[in-house]
Structure 1
Amino acid sequence: MIYLLRHQKTYNNLKGIISGQSESTIIEGNINKNQKYMISNINCIYSSPSKRCLDTLRNLTNMRPIIDDRLLERDMGIFEGKKKEEIMQKYPGYFKNKKFSVFMTPPEGEAYDIFYRRIFSFYEELIKDAKEDILICGHNQALKVLKAILQSEEVTQEYWAETNFENGKIIKYNET
């Protein structure tokens, strides 16, 4: 069984600021207590090295995660640290229906194909043939790509706009 967890809500999330690979402090207390029970049989945890992911896991479990840089959020380049509303006004071509156009490369940021290959590499090496229960703590965009890979689903702009991971909520992924 694979469990996916987006880090707890951060102050940047609250303020509508794009974090990307930049750090933002989590807001304590938004992990449901039932989540701890949900992962009581976990054998292994993988996490982004981001402080917001590691802090989320500290609030959830005493297990030490295996840190993997491939789980970092997409590098959003010059958009990082700026309000999404301001970026949408200044760079409207990068957004569609108020959602980032997944296949666009943020200025000085990470191209989608490179980002996808990074997440796919993690899947191929560590998850594809896993026999144990695994928790993966990461970021919204990285988890969207991983979910698509797990489901053998093509990432489209529609998929991107409709798929979101709620902060601090564990999603059980069952391949059956």
Structure 2
Amino acid sequence: MNIYLLRHGETEGNKNKFYYGKLNMSLNENGKTQAKNAGILLKNINFKNIYISERKRTRETAEIVLGRTEGFIIDSRINEINFGEFEGRSYEEIQKKFPIEYEKWSSNWKEFVPPGGESYIQFYSRVRNFMKELLETGEEDVLVVTHGGVIRAVYCYVLDNNLDFYWKFSSENGDLSIIKYEYGNLFIDSITHAGKLKEYMEGQVWRIEK
């Protein structure tokens, strides 16, 4: 079983380094380009099922990648973490506007719940449930278009179900990761950063032309 994890393309929220999960932002031009690049890499794979979150940015990415607007399975469990009242604010703004909450967040990042949001433990629990059900399907190739936090949570699930690994990986907009499940063994097969996709494709074109 091959699980292709694709982080949505860049939005203005990403570009401006805002904390946001629930906010419904669209892709910017760079994000659309990232999705097009990913689509070239994935064009020869026959996905029976494509999972997306409830957020506009994952749908837009999936539509560009696959060249269609229908046939997606929407699953709220792969929504990005909800930052509550921290949404739409920069790291510095959160420190200034919510100094008490920020200190609690810094000292206990797993259990702290932002006002109106959810904790990383709550967030991880729903992602873990999604992964368990997905593995039970036994599908050969699956595409999951989701968010950076969700992808990190999936890595934690693969690495012995341990949330401590959450900050040990990066996940950039447009990144493509492949998780394999073979003979009862779940592992990270590859991680391709969005910035490398264009270089990879240009290299492929160069080899063909030569």
Q: What TM-score do you get using the length of structure 2 for normalisation?
A: 0.72
The correspondence of residues 59-74 of structure 1 with structure 2, limited to 5 A, is 59-62=64-67, 64-74=71-81
Letter in 1 for 2:52: S
The residue aligned with 1:113 is: 121
Higher helix share: 2
The residue aligned with 2:11 is: 10
Deviation at 1:127, TM superposition (A): 2.9
Provide the rounded CA distance (Å) in 2 between the counterparts of 1:70 and 1:32: 22
Deviation at 1:115, TM superposition (A): 1.5
* SS at 2:116 equivalent: coil
Deviation at 1:33, TM superposition (A): 5.0
The residue aligned with 2:134 is: 126
Letter in 2 for 1:65: F
Provide the rounded CA distance (Å) in 2 between the counterparts of 1:101 and 1:56: 30
1:172 maps to 2:175: no
1:36 maps to 2:44: no
Contact map agreement 1:16 1:85 (CA 8 A) in 2: no
* SS at 2:153 equivalent: helix
Deviation at 1:53, TM superposition (A): 0.4
Question: Taking structure 1 as reference, are residues 151 and 141 closer, same or farther at Cα in structure 2, changes over 3 Å only?
Answer: same
Larger Rg: 2
What stretches of structure 1 move > 6 A for 4+ residues in a row?
Answer: none
Provide the rounded CA distance (Å) in 2 between the counterparts of 1:114 and 1:102: 9
Provide the rounded CA distance (Å) in 2 between the counterparts of 1:137 and 1:75: 17
The residue aligned with 1:25 is: 26
Deviation at 1:34, TM superposition (A): 5.0
Please, which runs of 5 or more residues in structure 1 have no aligned partner?
A: none
Deviation at 1:129, TM superposition (A): 4.7
The residue aligned with 1:56 is: 61
Letter in 1 for 2:156: A
Provide the rounded CA distance (Å) in 2 between the counterparts of 1:38 and 1:153: 29
1:87 maps to 2:86: no
Letter in 1 for 2:178: K
Deviation at 1:88, TM superposition (A): 3.0
Shifted more, 31-40 versus 50-59: the winner is 31-40
Q: What TM-score do you get using the length of structure 1 for normalisation?
A: 0.84
Cα deviation digits, residues 54-78 of structure 1 (max 9, x gap): 0011111135321111111111111
Deviation at 1:167, TM superposition (A): 0.3
Provide the rounded CA distance (Å) in 1 between the counterparts of 2:117 and 2:36: 36
Please, which runs of 5 or more residues in structure 2 have no aligned partner?
A: 181-185, 188-210
1:141 maps to 2:141: no
Question: Taking structure 1 as reference, are residues 129 and 58 closer, same or farther at Cα in structure 2, changes over 3 Å only?
Answer: closer
Letter in 1 for 2:34: I
Question: Taking structure 1 as reference, are residues 18 and 148 closer, same or farther at Cα in structure 2, changes over 3 Å only?
Answer: same
Question: Taking structure 1 as reference, are residues 24 and 33 closer, same or farther at Cα in structure 2, changes over 3 Å only?
Answer: closer
